[in-house]
Amino acid sequence: MNGLRIYRNPETVATDNRDRVFYSRREGGPYYLWYYEDSIKHWRFARVHLQEVASKALCVTNWKVIPVELQKSMAEHYQE
């Protein structure tokens, strides 16, 4: 997954470290919002516009803090 960046909004990071919202962007591509939907126990995503993301509020995060299930979903989404 060359050029993939994962972001979080520090204002929405859960205090119990169970983050449920992430953003991603690959190289010059679109931003995606990734969120965990409790009712179906599954990670979902939606394409978002830069204005909605407020990119200056997002911070790059390490792949290691991403939940394993989300890593798998992102890998499927960004297949080369």
* Per-residue pLDDT at 60 exceeds 50: yes
* Per-residue pLDDT at 16 exceeds 80: no
Number of domains comprising the chain: 1
- pLDDT bin (cut points 50, 70, 90) of residue 20 is confident
pTM to 2 decimal places: 0.82
Show the beta-strand stretches assigned E in 1-80: 4-8, 21-26, 31-37, 42-48, 59-60
Domain that holds residue 70: 4-77
Q: Is the dihedral of CA 12, 17, 20, 26 positive or negative?
A: positive
- Cα–Cα distance, 1 to 33 (Å, whole number): 17
Q: Which residue has the tokens 């953003």?
A: 23
Q: What's the pLDDT score for residue 38?
A: 87
Q: What's the pLDDT score for residue 56?
A: 66
